[in-house]
């Protein structure tokens, strides 16, 4: 990716959660709730003798995006892989409940998470489901929820489900969105099932290009904070009503995909099935080239 980089490009993947907030939103507009100085930390990690983080791995607050008032959360992958514990999850729920009360123009989630934080597994699992319900409440109120995925740790587990509950997803080609990580699948079913060290295979299966070609994310951008910002601004009007008709359309799309994928063991074969030309060359293409490949019709959500 970097060989195409302009000198001014800032890698979204290499930024911390707070740097992303600074770069994606209007200058100096981020106002944090429960900032590190307040030290709302995980009591469970402390009990285990594991180092805590003063924000429990997620920064939340309000900001402006292209002049519009939005609520934002950014998960920090460098702290416990962005894992959701009791406090981390409750901060996300609080942000979403507050959005329901205060009605910002959108809620943006800069997701970077392995899912449930295993050190506080039970509380984390319940917390992620509370985030899902609170997120769907916000959507039901007509406030769009937009997810940005481009951190080195990807968006996995329960957070991979949360992301797909949102109105709109922006990914970079280095971003990954999935349920179980390749290491977990390899540990469970062997290296023949999923070789977690085969980076090309990992990205073909879970990476931004694959997700974009399948319609699992709405916008694909290069690993550049300015591109994420522009994509986030475009997504501000992305609210999609969750209706029975919308879910029937989603179901039809997912059922068709199951039929299309019969016998397709790899992403390249699956791309061919859905009519992507020159599927073999996709791994070498940049984001704008991949964008040009996606079949015309936008996906149902």
Partner 1 sequence: MKWTELAAALFGAHHEIVADGDFLSGTAMLDGEPITVVGTTGHAPIGYELALRQARAILDTMAHHPGRPILLMIDTQGQQLRRHDELLGINRAMAHLGCCIDLARRRGHRVIGLVYDQALSGGFITSGLIADACYALPEAEIRVMRIPAMARVTKLPEAMLTELSRENPVFAPGVENYVAMGGVRALWRGDLAAALRDALARTPTDDTRAQDGAQRSGRRHAAPTTQLVLDAI
| Of residues 110-169, those binding partner 1 (CB under 8 A) | 116, 118-130, 132-134, 136, 140, 157-158, 160-165
Could you give the angle at the alpha carbon of 288 between the alpha carbons of 2 and 253, nearest 5°? 125
Specify the residue, 134 or 290, whose C-beta has the smaller distance to partner 1.
Answer: 134
Is residue 58 part of the contact set for partner 1 (CB under 8 A)?
no
Q: How far apart are CA 162 and CA 27, in angstroms?
A: 28
Q: How far apart are CA 70 and CA 63, in angstroms?
A: 5
Query: In the block, which residue shows the tokens 């029975």?
Result: 244
Is residue 265 part of the contact set for partner 1 (CB under 8 A)?
yes
- Exactly one of 64, 98, 168, 229 binds partner 1 (CB under 8 A); that residue is 98
Query: In the block, which residue shows the tokens 């990476």?
Result: 207
Residue 26 CB, shortest distance to partner 1, in Å, is 20
- Exactly one of 37, 244, 280, 284 binds partner 1 (CB under 8 A); that residue is 244
Q: How many residues interact with partner 1 (rule CB under 8 A)?
A: 80
Could you give the angle at the alpha carbon of 175 between the alpha carbons of 237 and 55, nearest 5°? 80
- Exactly one of 177, 220, 221, 239 binds partner 1 (CB under 8 A); that residue is 177
Specify the residue, 173 or 224, whose C-beta has the smaller distance to partner 1.
Answer: 173
Query: In the block, which residue shows the tokens 């990914």?
Result: 171
Q: How far apart are CA 106 and CA 108, in angstroms?
A: 6
Is residue 54 part of the contact set for partner 1 (CB under 8 A)?
no
Q: For residue 73, give the nearest of 97, 51, 50 by alpha carbon.
A: 97
Specify the residue, 23 or 36, whose C-beta has the smaller distance to partner 1.
Answer: 36
Site for partner 1 in 1-30 (CB under 8 A): none
Specify the residue, 70 or 270, whose C-beta has the smaller distance to partner 1.
Answer: 270
- Exactly one of 43, 51, 275, 295 binds partner 1 (CB under 8 A); that residue is 43
Stretch touching partner 1 by CB under 8 A, among 15-23, 83-91, 105-113, 281-289: 83-91
Bridge-partner residues for 75, per DSSP?
58
- Exactly one of 106, 267, 276, 287 binds partner 1 (CB under 8 A); that residue is 267
Q: Containing H/E element for 75? A: strand 68-75
Q: How far apart are CA 240 and CA 167, in angstroms?
A: 6
Residue 217 CB, shortest distance to partner 1, in Å, is 10
Residue 226 CB, shortest distance to partner 1, in Å, is 28
Is residue 194 part of the contact set for partner 1 (CB under 8 A)?
yes
Alpha-carbon distance values, 170 to 94, 160, 166 (Å): 23, 13, 11
What φ, ψ does residue 171 adopt, rounded to 5°? Answer: -130, 155
Specify the residue, 33 or 54, whose C-beta has the smaller distance to partner 1.
Answer: 33
Residue 175 CB, shortest distance to partner 1, in Å, is 13
Stretch touching partner 1 by CB under 8 A, among 6-14, 142-150, 182-190, 274-282: 182-190
Is residue 259 part of the contact set for partner 1 (CB under 8 A)?
no
Q: Containing H/E element for 79? A: none
Structure tokens belonging to residue 151? 């951190």
Specify the residue, 89 or 106, whose C-beta has the smaller distance to partner 1.
Answer: 89
Is residue 95 part of the contact set for partner 1 (CB under 8 A)?
yes
Q: For residue 136, give the nearest of 104, 93, 177, 176 by alpha carbon.
A: 93
User: How many CA atoms are closer than 13 Å to the CA of 159, on its beta-carbon side?
Assistant: 32
């Amino acid at each position: 990716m970097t060989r195409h980089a302009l000198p001014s490009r800032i890698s979204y993947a290499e930024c911390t959660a707070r740097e992303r907030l600074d770069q994606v939103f209007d200058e100096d507009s981020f106002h944090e709730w429960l900032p590190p100085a307040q030290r709302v930390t995980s009591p469970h990690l402390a009990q285990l003798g594991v180092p805590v983080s003063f924000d429990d791995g997620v920064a939340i607050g309000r900001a402006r995006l292209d002049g519009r008032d939005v609520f934002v959360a950014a998960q920090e992958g460098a702290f416990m892989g962005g894992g959701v514990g009791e406090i981390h999850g409750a901060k996300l729920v609080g942000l979403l409940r507050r959005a329901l009360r205060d009605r910002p123009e959108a809620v943006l989630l800069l997701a970077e998470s392995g899912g449930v934080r295993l050190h506080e597994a039970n509380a984390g699992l319940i917390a992620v489901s509370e985030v899902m319900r609170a997120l769907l409440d916000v959507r039901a109120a007509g406030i769009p929820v937009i997810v940005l995925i481009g951190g080195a740790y990807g968006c996995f587990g329960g957070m991979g489900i949360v992301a797909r509950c949102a109105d709109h997803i922006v990914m970079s080609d280095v971003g990954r969105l999935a349920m179980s990580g390749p290491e977990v699948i390899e540990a469970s079913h062997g290296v023949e099932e999923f070789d977690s060290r085969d980076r090309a295979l990992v990205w073909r299966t879970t990476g931004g290009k694959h997700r974009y070609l399948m319609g699992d994310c709405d916008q694909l951008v290069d690993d550049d904070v300015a591109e994420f910002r522009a994509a986030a601004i475009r997504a501000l009007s992305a609210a999609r009503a969750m209706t029975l008709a919308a879910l029937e359309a989603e179901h039809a799309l997912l059922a068709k995909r199951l039929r299309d994928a019969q016998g397709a063991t790899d992403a390249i074969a699956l791309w061919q099935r859905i009519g992507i030309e020159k599927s073999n060359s996709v791994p070498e293409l940049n984001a704008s080239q991949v964008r040009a490949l996606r079949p015309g019709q936008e996906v149902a959500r």
